[in-house]
Amino acid sequence: MDKIKKAAGEITGVHIETIDLDESFIDFSARFAAMAGTTVLLSGGDLDCARYHILGAKPWLTFTGSNRKMTLTAADQTFEVNADPFDTLRWIIDSFRLHDLGLDPSGLPQPLAAGLFGYLSYDLKDVLENLPRTSVDDLRLPHICFFAPSIIVVHDKSTDSTRLCILERNLAGQSSLDDDLNFFKQTLATEPLAKGSFSGEAAGFKSNFKKPNYLAAVETIREYIAAGDVYQVNMSQRFEMDFEGDTYNLFTKLYANNPAPFFAYINAGDHQLVSTSPERFLLQTGDRIETRPIKGTRPRGKTPAQDEQLGRELQQSKKDDAELSMIVDLMRNDIGKVCKAGSVRVAEHKRLEAYQNVYHLVSIVEGILDRDRDTVDLLKATFPGGSITGCPKIRTMEIIDELEPHRRHIYTGSIGYISFHDTMDLSIAIRTAAIYNNKIIFSVGGGIVFDSDPLDEYEETIHKGRTLMEVFMGKEKKSSKKSYAWINGSLEPQEQAVIPIADLGLQYGYGFFETIRVDNGNPKHLDAHIDRFYQTWQHLFAEEPPDLTWHEIIHQVVEKNGLLNTIAAIKIMVTMGDRQAPPYNHTLIVTARPYTHRLTDKQEPGLNLALYPHPRQTPLADHKTLNYLYYYLAGKWAKGQNAGEALILNPDNTVSETNTANILLIKDKTVIRPTSLHVLPGIMEAVVCRLLSVWDYKVEQRAVKPEDLFAVDEVLVTNSLLGVVPVLSLDGKKLPIPSDLWQKINDEVL
């Protein structure tokens, strides 16, 4: 840890100055939004918890981690630490605490002058409790992520004043202040960045629950409640869709539409978070603690009279009152673990708060932190917030994991700041989206009690998600369209293709496929492909293949996918199913996709090979089985070597093929086909050899060693999509310069 402190530098003070902004805070912050580590916290509306706008930028320390694998980065040095995330968080806070400098926190600008900005994901719960992990973590994002910004700007809405705070650090005998101050001034002096557009799929958000399944999950929770397991469970569904564009512009649009008290934007580098939360999780000011749980939701009315009625209905609802009271008791108990005896009280109960799309019921619970307790103790006692788990907390988290298919990540975690001088403000991360690898993902949920109506609960999640969903209306990608497949005799959306889990094709790769090039609706060498497909069918399935008019099926699939006037790659796949006698339950699928030749837009007129270090021999190599993992991994390995293909060897280290193509060696007027005990006979390879025979080439088959590739005139690879492509090198060593033979062949066969 000493190395980390040395890399981060020694804190010597805080530079504070009042600044004037000539633009709105959200536009001012846009100048920093594209920089990794930037956090923007906006307080929308005029509620008493919505006072400050805060920017944190240019981090001097980054802290991320999952489970016990923590990563800290300072001064371009990265440190891996095996530690508890909360212990690591405490170490950071204690190591850079401003009290140790003799600074009086009361003299620092409120609410913070230095500290950490970021998030704690809901999945951090697994560090605090021994819980079953039965849902899938498909995102693999950090469970904890915090940045210590060099630059903090705080705008106080109540006084309309703005302060700049820059932490002064001693780095190798030099102060960091001048560099950070110059960086800030230079950023302000640049022209404001133009707002980029953003868009989503035309089909809109897709849930990880089908509606009947969500209703069934609510019923399961009601059964748990009836059995006495729990009193209430927060149940959610996750939505996602493709996303393109400017994530900060998405943030600004959402803020303009619905300025809630705890808006947040975090640029974490490889992912961004956009939060429109109305709920405070924890506020700390010295030893004073506050939490504001929300329970109870109603949509806003379309007319003033209807709006007033819905608000009054929520206030008078016995169910919502019971839910809120239950969570208030839970939160009183949680903060009571670390607060002075007798200091915890409910300052306000069941306050009606109005937002753009919904009404909420809110309570305020306060306490005084015990003298021997700190910020991290408070977090560990209360995380995750009870308003978004249920009661009792541990059992409800078990049920959430059981019923929700995916890990929540940021949803119902917390976002905000933790200062180095005993202040903290964290929201509950609801109405919060993660944008990652061209996907936008967010979840919405509600508290389920015994009296809950499943359909009402489902509709409530839709109301809550409307703010995020509606901002994409009119911003759909125009090019977005469905892909269709022929599945057991029917044309269906490809996303609806289903293979039963008992299918031996899924369990063992018991199946096979054929890939066919189609030019402007014309399948190339179709008869040869179908012959090979049927030979494999008879060999592997030991039955007669189906009687199908393949050119008509392929035409239907190509036409349905709008590929009649271009080059397409058709794939025919079949799985065994789990029946060994009629009626069989094979799954037979035909798909189509646009095909772009591998040399398109490439500067080099051929492929480079890399010698795969794992020879293979299996009788299954005689067929194009679905057990294709070896070849897939070989191709992936080749890309890692900056090569286009992997050269596959036989067990005796002679050449067999590449991971997608057959290989031919040309010497004088002879075509050499490598001998391999088990290798898929190539359709295009046979076509090329027949053509070269017509051109008076002699075709022979013999064992070939890798070094033989350097002793011939040229080396070619062939498959049905590529046609013929020359090989330029092997393991970085150049092969003989190819002639134009490959182009002449392609003119004939493609």
Q: Which residue numbers are catalytic?
A: 279, 295
Q: Are 367 and 339 in contact (CB under 8 A)?
A: yes
CA dihedral 102, 105, 106, 107 (to 10 degrees): 60
Closest CA to 274 of 262, 284, 289, 291: 262
Backbone angles phi, psi at 176, to 5 degrees: -85, -10
CA distance 296 to 351: 11
CA distance 153 to 17: 10
Indicate the SS3 state at residue 406.
strand
CA distance 252 to 274: 10
- Tally the C-alpha atoms within 13 A of residue 508's C-alpha that lie toward its C-beta: 10
CA distance 234 to 389: 5
CA distance 265 to 267: 7
Q: Are 307 and 300 in contact (CB under 8 A)?
A: yes
CA distance 492 to 679: 34
Q: 302: how many CB neighbours lie within 10 A of its CB? A: 9
Indicate the SS3 state at residue 320.
helix
E strand spans, 172-212: 174-175, 198-200, 206-207
Q: What are the structure tokens assigned to 749, written together? A: 């066969």
CA distance 251 to 435: 11
CA angle 258, 53, 191 (to 5 degrees): 95
- Tally the C-alpha atoms within 13 A of residue 207's C-alpha that lie toward its C-beta: 16
What are the Cα distances from residue 390, in Å, to 197, 208, 410?
A: 39, 21, 17
- Tally the C-alpha atoms within 13 A of residue 244's C-alpha that lie toward its C-beta: 11
Three-state DSSP string of 536-581 = HHHHHHCCCCCCCCHHHHHHHHHHHCCCCCCEEEEEEEEECCCCCC
DSSP state, residue 132: -
Indicate the SS3 state at residue 467.
helix
Cα Rg of the chain (Å, integer):
32
Q: 747: how many CB neighbours lie within 10 A of its CB? A: 9
